[in-house]
């Protein structure tokens, strides 16, 4: 994606891209132990830098509807005793948390400059809050990240390619 090519077929990638000959792939995510390389990488600007240019936040239609697709995986995680329905979604550029759930869990909602989030169906949503250093556990491993808040409805947490 850093060169603007599709991960699967190496053709130029743009919104709505469909691979000419889709193939199934299995990806392995390796979590390294006690390495501190990810500490204090800087403050959140609302954009992710994928090399040459910053990317405006996008969320897939699968994430908004809660229906899993070929580029999503549904798992359960936890925030304290609360079970989170997590959608791991390669079609979303950022991590998103359901705004209503964040309020119920007592998360600190930090106001931010309004950020337009494009939905894959062409619509947009306005993101007004960020939750800094949101932590959750997945299969006994604790994760922490800054996360954008949106009214999701279909799941509790969307983990994009951020």
Q: What is the per-residue pLDDT across 67-116, written as a single tens digit (0 to 9) for each?
A: 666 677 888 999 999 999 988 888 888 999 999 999 999 999 999 999 88
Task: Classify residue 8: in a domain, yes or no.
Answer: no
Task: Classify residue 59: in a domain, yes or no.
Answer: yes
Task: Classify residue 24: in a domain, yes or no.
Answer: no
d(CA 46, CA 85): 24
Q: Which helix (H) or strand (E) holds 63?
A: helix 61-65
Task: Classify residue 131: in a domain, yes or no.
Answer: yes
Encoding tokens for residue 31? 């979590």
CATH code for position 151: 2.40.70.10
Query: 61 or 13: whose pLDDT is higher?
Result: 13
Q: Report the pLDDT value the prediction gives residue 82, as an integer from 0 to 100.
A: 93
- How many residues are given for the chain? 162
Task: Classify residue 34: in a domain, yes or no.
Answer: no
One-character DSSP codes across 93-145: SS-EEEHHHHHHTT---EEEEEEEEEETTS-EEEEEEEEEEEEEEETTEEEEE
Task: Classify residue 43: in a domain, yes or no.
Answer: no
> How far are the Cα atoms of 38, 39, 92, 123 from residue 118, in angstroms, in the given order?
28, 29, 10, 6
Domain that holds residue 101: 55-159
Task: Classify residue 110: in a domain, yes or no.
Answer: yes
Q: Report the pLDDT value the prediction gives residue 43, as an integer from 0 to 100.
A: 42
pTM (2 decimals)?
Answer: 0.62
Task: Classify residue 14: in a domain, yes or no.
Answer: no
- Phi first, then psi: what are they for 65, rounded to 5°? -90, -20
Identify whether the C-beta of residue 83 lies closer than 8 Å to the C-beta of residue 76.
yes
Total domains, the chain: 1
């Amino acid at each position: 994606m850093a060169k603007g090519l599709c991960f699967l077929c190496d053709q130029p990638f743009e919104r709505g891209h469909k691979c000419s000959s889709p193939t199934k792939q299995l990806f392995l995510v390796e979590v390294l132990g006690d390495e501190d390389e990810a500490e204090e990488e800087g403050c959140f600007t609302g954009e992710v830098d994928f090399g040459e240019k910053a990317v405006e936040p996008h969320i897939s239609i699968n994430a908004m509807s809660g229906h899993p697709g070929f580029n999503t995986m549904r798992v359960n995680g936890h925030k304290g005793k609360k079970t989170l329905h997590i959608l791991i979604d390669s079609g979303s550029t950022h991590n998103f948390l359901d705004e209503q759930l964040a309020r119920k869990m007592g998360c600190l909602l930090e106001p931010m400059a309004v950020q337009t989030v494009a939905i894959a169906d062409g619509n947009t949503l306005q993101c007004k809050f960020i939750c800094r250093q949101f932590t959750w556990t997945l299969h006994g491993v604790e994760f922490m990240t800054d996360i954008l808040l949106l009214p999701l409805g279909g799941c509790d947490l969307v983990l994009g390619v951020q």
